[in-house]
Amino acid sequence: MDKLYTFTVKTPQTTAMIDITDKVQEVVRESNVKDGICIIFIPHTTAAVTINENADPDVVHDFLMEMNKVIPFSDGYRHMEGNSAAHIKSSLMGFSETIIIKDSRLRLGTWQGIYLTEFDGPRVRKVHAKIIEG
Ligand code: ZN
């Protein structure tokens, strides 16, 4: 019994990491799947998903600061839309994550959270969550 859920996330500025852990846990609960996997997929080219620490907000700050240094906003890019940095950052981060579900809970580590990462906001982003029992 596989279930697909889609929800939207409003991103506040050009670059941001939005913690979507609670929302994902909510759809896992809604699915009634006790044991299985949850695949998160981001159907965009300038936003992505990652898992990292959600205890200290400075981690997000440092993460975005360093991403902006490694992939600067302007660097003689050719892409006419002017958002090459966002495309590159998104592919580096990746568009999906797979998380184990055990006893109806996401089996994340104590300090782990799931983040939608925005690199060309503010926008409204879609998040797909496919929940597979097994
Ligand atoms: Zn573009």
Dump pLDDT digits (tens) for 69-126. Answer: 999 999 999 999 999 999 999 999 999 999 999 999 999 999 999 999 999 999 999 9
Q: Are 16 and 53 in contact (CB under 8 A)?
A: no
Sheet (strand 124-133) strand order = 2-10, 124-133, 36-41, 96-102, 105-106
Strand partners, 117: 17, 48
Protein residues placing their CB within 5 Å of the ion ligand 1: 81, 83
- Ligand 1 centre to CA of 76 (Å) is 14
- Residue 127 DSSP SS3: strand
Model's pTM, two decimal places? 0.96
- Ligand 1 centre to CA of 101 (Å) is 35
pLDDT tens per residue across span 99-109:
999 999 999 99
Domains of the chain: 2-133 (2.60.120.460)
Tell me the pairing of strands 16-19 and 112-118.
antiparallel
